[in-house]
Chain A
């Protein structure tokens, strides 16, 4: 009751965003399937969006929400181009993981 009665402060949202960003970052470092790495990038972008909205709400500033709008557009463009690259790679090497794509290694 005591915890449930208080209203969440922006700090709560920022800490949740920090946790989400960290999980996404660790996933990006650990996973090898390029599609799952992509999903981890989406997690990190969403953590940033959550922080933007938390700041926007806390400071009563409209540019935070506008920034989220632009992040959404850039994320959509990034996913489209990235998936095209992944499709092009997987068509040549079916089942390739991030470790297999090392042809540009010196």
Chain B
């Protein structure tokens, strides 16, 4: 039964990932990305990471993909990318070769580590399966061991929001020419 869940999740993940890379329209890519993210959430639940699965769906599928779709719709960049033309000579074969080599190296590393006992080192920062819900375990870890990092993420988010507002606003004084052409440049 667990193997069935894994296979279903893996098919979702890989089909979505191939869709992102191979589909020509950005909207189709974004929808394929949703499929991948849901597949990842399924695999999280299969590994008892229930809270992370919920966060995955809310943050990724709920927020990030909607943001991407919003930009696609807003800017009208939903033009079909011609996947045939190759502006850099030999870009695709070289990229495929790099991909094969990278996959081979990672697979070799996984098998060289010896399957189940990945490093042989057991938990160093506290057990996960304590009988409590995983959200409690995660919260205790987050607000004790990693509290400074957690506070820093709040700073990071504030900086990201401020930077976004600065980048996205139109400079004062310039004539708003809409989204079509900017005569100055």
Q: Chain A: residues with CB nearer than 8 A to chain B?
A: 3-16, 18-27, 29-33, 35-36, 38-40, 42-43, 46, 49-50, 53-66, 68-70, 72-77, 79-81, 83-88, 90-92, 94-95, 97, 99
Interchain CB contact under 8 A, A35 and B26: yes
Apart from A8-B6, A35-B26, A84-B167, what 16 extra A-B contacts exist at CB < 8 Å? A10-B115, A16-B43, A19-B103, A20-B36, A22-B99, A24-B21, A27-B20, A29-B95, A33-B26, A36-B81, A62-B128, A65-B137, A68-B49, A72-B56, A83-B164, A88-B168
- Cβ of B91 and Cβ of A59 under 8 Å apart? no
Q: Which residue of A lies closest to B106 (CB)?
A: A18
* A21 in contact with B180 (CB, 8 Å): no
- The interface residues of chain A lying within 8 Å CB-to-CB of B110 are 11, 14-15, 18
Smallest beta-carbon distance B28→chain A, Å: 10
Task: Give the number of chain B interface residues (Cβ < 8 Å).
Answer: 95
B98 A35 Cβ-Cβ under 8 A: no
Contact B71 A25 (CB under 8 A): no
Judging by beta carbons under 8 Å apart, are B64 and A42 in contact? yes
Complex CA distance for A12 and B2, rounded to whole angstroms: 12
Q: Determine chain A's interface SS by DSSP, over half rule.
A: helix
A72 CA / B125 CA spacing, docked (Å): 20
- Taking CB atoms and an 8 Å cut-off, the chain B residues in 152-179 that contact chain A are 153, 156-157, 159-161, 163-164, 167-168, 179
Complex CA gap A49/B168 in Å reads 30
Contact of B14 among A10, A23, A57 (CB under 8 A): A23
